[in-house]
Structure 1
């Protein structure tokens, strides 16, 4: 069992050994509230970019749908003639300095999520350890940018955002502690903050929701051929995302398949696709599989849905300043 799977199971299935890390979580609480105080009393300085900014984030680690929401928002804003750029920290990328992401960037260098955003949206995407530096670099090169979306970054207190959107995850958690004993990056009470717009990712939500259902057609990674899932025999799901069980449970309603779970952001090799299966992968994983020598890899896609009332309200705020 990998370390990542151990923590995932402890957070979302059954907690036992994880309680040994509770003292470290208490230290994180102290650091969290200390940082809040230092920013509140202007000891730590906050910065503001010269364009409208939106940050999309969540409270618990892994797989809530942040990147899908960023894609949805960017497409929505582009349809309303707003020039959008994306900033990200390029998680797991090996880059050292502030970097622009291109269609042909190596996911090892820039991270899989940043590359997926670039390929799906074809808009400026910049990554940096500092989101302020990423935003400045983006605006300097693309000076017609009207709005910047930060993929993740609610915990990035040094940058002031105009709009904060938090995805409230509906999955079961074994406890509500901060990392590492619990899955929370910030206290649960954060969802009560007046300056945060909260979206639920639950399929049961009737109000203020953002969720998605699996498309029943898949796309061949090599040929772009589209085919219905139920037309493919001998299916095998290979998945390396933050919380794979939501997708696995949704897929079980559509077809029979075998599966193997890899660590989030895992980099696939030819050896992972050596058997005689029709392999299913996610869009995020697909950007890391372009060099895999197998013609039977099929990409799963999802159909996103946002609460129309929330969408109209958010769009109205942005368009009217």
Structure 2
């Protein structure tokens, strides 16, 4: 779970039990909102990438992977996103060199890395219509973090699941879930970090599950993006690791598993970094995630490095997605 998540979300202790009546109310209101949603269907298929829990599950690398798979199959994809943390209100197109403070960190990262049209907006159907208006060549839309935005019609849903983010398995505010575990039975496929226990497998039912891991092999200089080194070449080095993501522990653990000596500096998800956040008493290289790098590149010290990761998805997931797009809903 996120380092900023309430500790009581991890178990069903007294604080969670006291909030459980509110979780029941949250569930009732969520179901009512879903039933009353006026679904807006678009002229092109929509693929939703999302999760059921608060906190980072690796959706951004999955969107990057999915866009690459779609493009390789001959599609012309576009992306819509909420634009969490964006200062621009309403619907806006995100340029590849956009300011993360204006458009949000994840949209800027996706616009630059995917090199495809991207529109942000809290109103997802409006954002999707604007994307198609500006780019009528787009024949499929990927909705980043859109599982709970039911007004946006969708052809296919992909749930990204990290069991460590599920905590006590209760709905907000008693636990970290946006929707109950049973919601996973309704998606088209699940991409899961690590093995699932019997309880989770039962909750998912017959929905196909594909393994997922985030892998990175290079470090890229923030001062000179053309300059990179292998992560392996830094084995044994002492570094400052900075992470303002949903699960900073995953980032730290990945660097430690590669043999680096990590000084951990976790920040809240979508943290608005300032220059002083990167000032440390001990001199050492600073490593950060790609999502943080788009916010820090303008003021990061010279010895600062980005660690980009890619989603590695189990065999068969891309084929299932493409089958659904071409032939309609697949059978489990």
SS at match of 1:156: coil
How many angstroms does 1:209 deviate by?
Answer: 2.3
- Taking structure 1 as the reference length, what is the TM-score of the superposition? 0.90
Q: Please state how far the C-alpha of 1:58 moved relative to its aligned partner.
A: 0.5
Determine whether 1:11 maps to 2:12. Answer: no
* 2:175 alignment partner, SS class: coil
State the match for 2:204 in structure 1: none
Q: How does 1:1-321 map to 2 (within 5 A)?
A: 5-12=3-10, 17-38=15-36, 44-171=37-164, 173-193=166-186, 195-202=187-194, 208-224=209-225, 225-232=227-234, 233-254=237-258, 255-275=260-280, 276-320=283-327
C-alpha change, 1:14 and 1:216, in structure 2 (3 Å) is farther
Asked whether the equivalents of residues 59 and 187 of structure 1 are also in contact (C-alpha less than 8 Å), the reply is: yes
Give 5+ residue unaligned stretches, structure 2. Answer: 198-207
User: Shift of residue 121 of structure 1?
Assistant: 0.9
Structure 1 SS opposite 2:80: strand
Shift of 1:283: 0.5
Greater than 6 Å deviation, 4+ residue runs: none
C-alpha distance in 2, partners of 1:264/1:65? 13
247 and 13 in structure 1: CA distance in 2 versus 1, 3 angstrom threshold: farther
Find the aligned partners of 1:274 and 1:168 in 2 and give their Cα distance. Answer: 34
Q: How far has the Cα of 1:290 moved from its partner? A: 1.7
What's the CA shift string for 1:161-182, capped at 9, x where partnerless? 0011111222164411111111
- 2:163 is paired with a residue whose SS is coil
Question: Cα 1:144–1:55, aligned 2, differ >3 Å: closer, same or farther?
Answer: same
Match of 1:41 in 2: none
- What whole-Å deviation, never above 9, does each CA across 1:69-108 have from its counterpart, x for those lacking one? 1110001111122110000110111221210001232212
Deviates more, 1:26-35 or 1:256-265: 26-35
Separation of aligned partners in 1, 2:77 and 2:166: 35
Q: Hey, what's the Cα distance between the residues in 1 that align with 2:77 and 2:160?
A: 21
Asked whether the 8 Å contact 1:202–1:209 carries over to 2, the reply is no
Q: CA deviation at 1:210?
A: 4.5
Contact 2:55–2:165 (CA under 8 A) maintained in structure 1: no
Q: Check 1:208–1:99 CA distance in 2 against 1; reply closer, same or farther (3 A cut).
A: same
Deviations 1:34-71 (A, max 9, x none): 22333xxxxx4211111111000111111111111111
Note if contact 2:75-2:140 (Cα within 8 Å) is conserved in structure 1. yes
Structure 1 residue 273, shift from structure 2 partner = 1.9
Quickly say closer, same or farther: Cα 1:248–1:288, change in 2 above 3 A: same
Structure 2 distance, partners of 1:122, 1:168, is 26
**Does the C-alpha gap of structure 1 residues 26 and 125 become closer, same or farther in structure 2, counting only changes over 3 Å?**
same
1:215/1:284 Cα in 2 relative to 1: closer, same or farther (>3 Å)? same
**Alignment gaps of 5+ in structure 1:** 39-43
Root-mean-square deviation (Å): 2.2
Deviation at 1:10, TM superposition (A): 3.1
Q: How many residue pairs get matched?
A: 311
Preserved CA contact (<8 Å) 1:214 1:300: no
